[in-house]
Amino acid sequence: MKKCIYILIAVILVMFVGCNEDTVGNDLTGSISGTVTSESSGEPIENVEISTSPASTTVLTDENGMFILENVIIDQYSVKAESEDYVTKFESVTVTADITSNVIFKLVISSANNRQPSAPVAITPLDNAEVTDLNVDFAWNSTDPDGDELTYELKIRNDRNEEVLEFSNIQDTTYNVSDLKYGYKYFWQVAVSDSINEPVLSQVYSFKITEFPNNSYYFVREIDNNNVIFSSNEKGVEVRLTDLNKNSFRPRKNNSINRIAFLRIVGSTTQLFTMKPDGSDVFQVTSNIPVKSINNERVGYSWSNDGSFLLYPNLDKLYKISATGEGKEIIYDAPIGRFIINTTVSADNSVIVLHTTDVNGYNAEIFTIDFNGNREKTIVSNVMGSLGGLDIDVTNSLVLYTRDVSGFESDEDRELNTKMFIYNLQNDTEVSLSGGKENGTNDTDPRFSPDEAAVIFVNASNAPMSIKNIYTLRFDEDLNPLEIDRILLIENGKMPDWE
């Protein structure tokens, strides 16, 4: 009996041992693979330590941010990604037999050991500097000890009002700010951020824009196929007065009210505006009856001497309108088939000079009318070629204009040999001021100087699309030009005014 019991126990032990050996030798395993990248940049992170809980093996990510844990016993695991420069992150995963389970880590940079960038230091404009340009280039310097990517915020205040200019998310250490104001003192400060630490502020710097220059010349320059109005002085200091993205042209200064009139394209119309000499306080004078002509490059208008009203053309009609945009009335209605191109009015409001053409811009005439619309004296008529430019002197006796003496006419409105002339209304004589003009060029858009002893005008090659330059020319009492005084004043300019 005892022998039988011993045999049974032995059999059970053998079975038990056999079962244990079978389980240990055949544990089921899988793999864990994955990638580690930066949450902010998306770039892979190398040498991140990857481990699990329960513990299995530990590996480091390669240069592509990739890793793999092999022969991991099937189970539920928490996978840890750990690096000195990043916040440790955990991801859960289930390991399945003979399957590679995948996890993705996006790590956030750790601020525990990250250092702040240095406070920005101004390079330009220098503290307490005086600046002459309304477009100011700001520049500063800042560094980051950990090589973090930096962004900047620029804030600008002034000493006149509560306006604050703010420019954020600047990626560089330079920034241009335009359309600042003459005579203003500005205070500026830069904040730098590494997206980890709190932003670091520079000290507050200041600079002052010089007072507005006393400019006498006004002109137009074409920039990116757009007309922009500028002013300038004898030293060549130029000031932009109108927006780069608005088509503004034909400036006319009125000293009595210290405002500049000009034309601007609004939608599909040409409207008359006024502004202060520094380009501020822009006011639209015309609206439902705009300035309209068969030639926008030649179209003109005129101030009254006291600045109370303006005269402007709308095809065959000459309108008078107050400087405030009220009280429109028709001064002159041209005959059928005639169109008004330009006009000027005498200082005492007794004489209006008109330039009219046919529908093609030729068969032109220049003549005077009174304020009742009555035609008085014909200055030029029955000539071939184009006429242009119109001004009258303060004595009401001299009319300035241009004529293409070549008599050339074309659909492209090209001029070949345009010269300046002064017509004396008192004795009906005519004098040319273009004796010193180079052959192959045109003198256009003349205006009398404030002292009535010189003209400002444009000269350019008669080739299409030529660059225009602005000159001055003085003449003696007998209207004989002083040829040595034909002086280049402004390069790349047109439609000048001199007040």
Domain 217-498 has CATH 2.120.10.30: yes
Half-sphere exposure at residue 91, Cβ-oriented, CA atoms within 13 angstroms: 17
pLDDT score at 196: 84
Question: Which regions of the chain are under pLDDT 70?
Answer: 1-26, 112, 483-484
CA distances from 445 to 5, 195, 250, 349 (A): 132, 58, 10, 22
> Which CB contacts under 8 angstroms, 24+ apart, belong to 375-383?
376/351, 377/425, 379/353, 379/423, 379/425, 380/423, 383/407
pLDDT score at 484: 64
CB 86 within 8 A of CB 106: no
pLDDT digits (tens, 9 = 90+) for 3-56: 444 444 444 444 444 444 444 445 799 999 999 999 888 999 999 999 999 999
Residues contacting residue 95 through CB under 8 Å, at least 6 positions apart: 29, 30, 31, 32, 72, 73, 74, 75, 76, 77, 101
pLDDT score at 20: 43
Q: What is the reported pTM?
A: 0.67
Cα–Cα nearest to 342, from 309, 372, 364: 364
CATH code of domain 28-107: 2.60.40.1120
CATH topology of domain 121-209: Immunoglobulin-like (2.60.40)
**Positive or negative: CA dihedral 237, 243, 247, 250:** negative
pLDDT score at 274: 97
217-498 shares the fold of 28-107: no
pLDDT digits (tens, 9 = 90+) for 379-388: 999 999 999 9
Cis upstream peptide for 125 (omega within 30°): yes
CA distances from 357 to 154, 334, 430 (A): 55, 10, 21
3-state class of 3 per DSSP? helix
The 387-392 sheet, strands edge to edge = 387-392, 398-404, 418-424, 429-432
The one-character DSSP state at 338 is -
**Domain ranges, ordered by start, for the chain:** 28-107, 121-209, 217-498
Instruction: Identify any residues that bridge with 149 across adjacent strands, giving them in sequence order.
Output: none
How far is C-alpha 144 from the chain's CA centre? 32
